[in-house]
Structure 1
């Protein structure tokens, strides 16, 4: 990373606007999964080790953004979720996360919202599906608050860890933090797929051998 780019990043991190940018970026991530909000949270966590931005401010901004974004996805699901799902072909790749979220919410309730907050794409599907099925707003808000706070604290501290290990080298610190974020998202997604596979096997009807009365 060149000195000019580093100076630019340091200037951005030292600006009070970084907190508003973090809120907006993480909120956008909740409705557009292609914009991973944890990248900016981790980056802010790396630079928080130098004192700017403020560590508590980064965690608060990330949590506020996640909370606001989840409610935006919930509102979209409540207003247009049914119409959106009817446009997605049954069994299609884009529809599968929503179908899984519907089953998971039915079995585990709001707790699944906390888990899904750590997985890009799943967090959008879970929040929108919660709105589509009419989950009570009070219950959704409580779960969203817990999930957004845990999400922001975790990824901020991951960035801090990278900043502590590579104190004088911001680029490796950021890459380490982002890599760790991707690993945890992958682990959660793997667990979700394993659990889904087990549930599918349990749901299969028992087969009666041919020729047995």
Structure 2
């Protein structure tokens, strides 16, 4: 999805576009949620047609709501969905096993920091539900991550947008480029550590190809 289209949707739908992109990305569908937040903040800073505080609040709310829906989907039928469709979005059995390994040992920390990592941000809530992470811990870590991530990204990009109004639009594109570059660097670092994590996960769960479905009795206890 091009930045031009995102800007067009922001100009047409404003806060609604921010909410939809971030919420849909958070529940497990690959969408440019963070890019939309950055674009909205840049737009607000350069035109003042949107309120940056409202943008940050909408983004945080969308992240929390989307993640909780993703968690619920993962909890109710995540294993079945992953087996059938996971390969189409990169959720291979080995990666799912790594997800279980991480959530079993560092659940809250993973949920919090996943909000800042492209790719992991999309699937973290779904995987957390699928591997039966305890709901109270998920809710707290998820809310904390959203409440830090949304204002940090929004107000940072807003300041850049304000500077761009005086220095020219080139600064806006530089800001977007830096954000994309940072996401790529983080993605490469995650990919580099994946082999080590896969080995640890294989050692921890030697007889499993993917996270096992949550027992029906356990699902009933979470209602």
On the 8 A contact 1:158/1:177 being kept in 2, the answer is no
The 5 Å alignment of 1:12-31 reads 13=11, 18-31=14-27
SS in 2 for 1:134: coil
On the 8 A contact 2:82/2:91 being kept in 1, the answer is no
Find the counterpart in structure 1 of residue 125 from structure 2: 127
The 5 Å alignment of 1:128-167 reads 128-167=126-165
TM-score normalised by structure 1 residue count? 0.75
2: CA distance between counterparts of 1:171 and 1:63?
A: 27
1: CA distance between counterparts of 2:127 and 2:200?
A: 24
Residues 15-57 of structure 1 show CA distances to partners (whole Å, capped at 9, x for unaligned) of: 8x52232112210112354311112111111122243311111
Residues 42-98 of structure 1 show CA distances to partners (whole Å, capped at 9, x for unaligned) of: 1111122243311111111111111111111111101110112333689x9431443
Find the counterpart in structure 1 of residue 113 from structure 2: 115
Deviation of the 1:118 alpha carbon: 2.3
Aligned residues: 195
TM-score normalised by structure 2 residue count? 0.72
Alignment partner for residue 72 of structure 1, among 69, 72, 88?
Answer: 69
The 5 Å alignment of 1:37-48 reads 37-48=33-44
2: CA distance between counterparts of 1:78 and 1:190?
A: 29
Alignment partner for residue 84 of structure 1, among 81, 84, 90?
Answer: 81
Unmatched segments (≥5 aa) in structure 1:
206-213
Deviation of the 1:143 alpha carbon: 1.0
Higher helix share: 2
Q: Which moved more, 1:182-191 or 1:166-175?
A: 166-175
Change (3 A) 1:200 1:136: closer
1: CA distance between counterparts of 2:21 and 2:157?
A: 17
